Amino acid sequence: MSEYTFQMLAIILYLAAMLLIGWYAFTRTSNLNDFMLGGRGLGPLTTALSAGAADMSGWLLMGLPGAIYATGLVEAWIAIGLTVGAWLNYILVAPRLRVYTQVSKNSITIPSFLDNRLRDNTKLIRIAAGIVILVFFTFYVSSGMVSGGKFFQSSFGFDYHTGMLIVATVTVLYTLFGGFLAVSYTDVVQGTIMFFALTLVPIVGLFVTGGFNETTTSIQTMNPEHLSIFASTATVAGIISSVAWGLGYFGQPHIIVRFMAITTVKEMKNARRIGIGWMILSLGGAIGTALVGLAYFQQNVMTIDDPETIFISMGQILFHPFIAGILLAAILAAIMSTISSQLIVTSSALIEDIYKALFKKDATDRHYVAAGRLAVLIVSIVALVLAWNPNNSILDLVGFAWAGFGSSFGPTILLALYWRKLTNVGALSGMVAGAIVAFIWGQSAALSGMIYEMVPGFFTNLVIAVIVSLVTYKPNEEIEEEFDKTLEILKSEKEMN
């Protein structure tokens, strides 16, 4: 068989496995809680790998290696910021969110939690948060479909639209039928493929390039500053901007919803160890792939047209075509895991936080599950329409969406979990102010060139929410009881550990 056939066989086997997992999850989904939150029955391994796979997307295998290959370790600051941010997310948000969302009327989405936690009788927070999620994630899903189309186009020579439709069809099918469980189970497989791919390529590559010393020498021959995170191109503002990406974790709905779904809060410690371990090794593998790739191309007097394809190139150079196909599947896994996670969160926002809040409040679970599946289909169709003609503005929105979610939800989530006096007016004011500042800052070349919009957006939200809450605070016995009950459960869980 030809190299093309071997690689395509690996991709077909991967896609078939995703559909089988989706069918299995479908047989275990019977009500709305199952469809949107997996019945709060995820184990620590599934929670950790699902959160990691949903988080990283194609950036881990293409964007980061490409940046390191082209510019050097100075680009690693964003990886450092993300790792610290993810670790803090497990420490500060995960345990409290798991307990508090169940204590506060068994909330199954982030907007419904904020609504219940703050006793917002106007439903403005729930609806506004749901709309933010719906709009941003529709474009986010669209950008993922663009990536899928370009993946098949560059790797196998497919027509862009054909590749996009393949990725969209498989991802939508397993998400639509299997819901949150299908997304989480496929994330485990996808996260595992990504991990082994990013571990295998740099290790084998290091042997081919002559070991650590020879590889280092080859890289320094190209550029003496390539191995320095404090290269002359680094600036204080640039480092702060890169590290600030970590702030975004507190407000990413498709990531923190995993914390709500774990079986018990005592499992969170194991989930944290697995998740952060996976993240450090995967990010390290992505950086290592770029560095051994640079050494290999220097030693063999070769060039590469697009630095972001260094992972694909090294996989095809170092391994049998079938193994190279599995490595290509890792990129597809990164793309699809993020799309599916965003689809299920968007479906949840549309049904749980907009449809139920405004229209149908007393239907059966069967009705809501059907509506949730219809929501997945509708959002997917809209995203496909947006992605039909590749558009840089859609892809650019990914970076803005991360800052937008972090600025809108991050401080609000932290204050809701840790501060009794947060009010519905304060939370809504902060969310709106953070989103506006992040948007304006991000659209201004002069301002965004100074510092990443996450920083001003996040802290604007925090300051506004605190000030307005202090002005509008009135004691509420139900809120106080839930806050105290959450602390009691957390304390008892801690003592049991």
Neighbour count for residue 445 (Cβ, 10 Å): 8
End-to-end Cα, the chain, rounded Å: 55
Alpha helices, DSSP H only, in 209-352? 212-222, 236-243, 253-261, 268-299, 310-318, 321-348
* pLDDT attached to residue 489: 92
As to burial, measured by CB atoms within 10 angstroms (0-12 exposed, 13-18 middle, 19+ buried), residue 461 is: buried
CA angle 402, 407, 413 (to 5 degrees): 105
Residue 295's alpha-carbon distances to 63, 259, 284, 317, in angstroms, are 19, 40, 16, 14
Q: Between residues 362 and 224, which one has the greater pLDDT? A: 224
Q: Between residues 218 and 30, which one has the greater pLDDT? A: 218
> What mean pLDDT comes out for the span 65-69?
91
What are the boundaries of each domain within the chain? 3-390
Q: pLDDT tens digits for 367-400?
A: 888 888 888 899 899 889 888 876 655 446 667 7
Above 90 in pLDDT, residue 469? yes
CATH number of 3-390: 1.20.1730.10
* pLDDT attached to residue 391: 62
What's the whole-number average pLDDT of the chain?
Answer: 89
- Find, among 289, 342, 260, 263, the residue nearest to 55 by Cα: 342
Above 70 in pLDDT, residue 409? yes
User: Which DSSP symbol is given to 70?
Assistant: H
Above 70 in pLDDT, residue 360? no
Above 90 in pLDDT, residue 338? no
Q: How far apart are CA 409 and CA 431, in angstroms?
A: 6
Q: Indicate the range of 71-75, 83-87, 130-134, 321-325 predicted with least confidence.
A: 130-134
Residue 205's alpha-carbon distances to 201, 437, 496, in angstroms, are 6, 44, 46
Rounded to two decimals, the pTM is 0.89
* pLDDT attached to residue 456: 95
> What mean pLDDT comes out for the span 434-463?
90
| Band of residue 56 on the pLDDT scale cut at 50, 70, 90 | confident
* pLDDT attached to residue 37: 77
* pLDDT attached to residue 261: 87
Q: pLDDT tens digits for 19-55?
A: 999 999 998 888 878 887 777 888 898 888 888 888 7
Q: pLDDT tens digits for 81-130?
A: 999 999 999 999 999 999 999 999 999 889 999 999 999 888 899 888 88
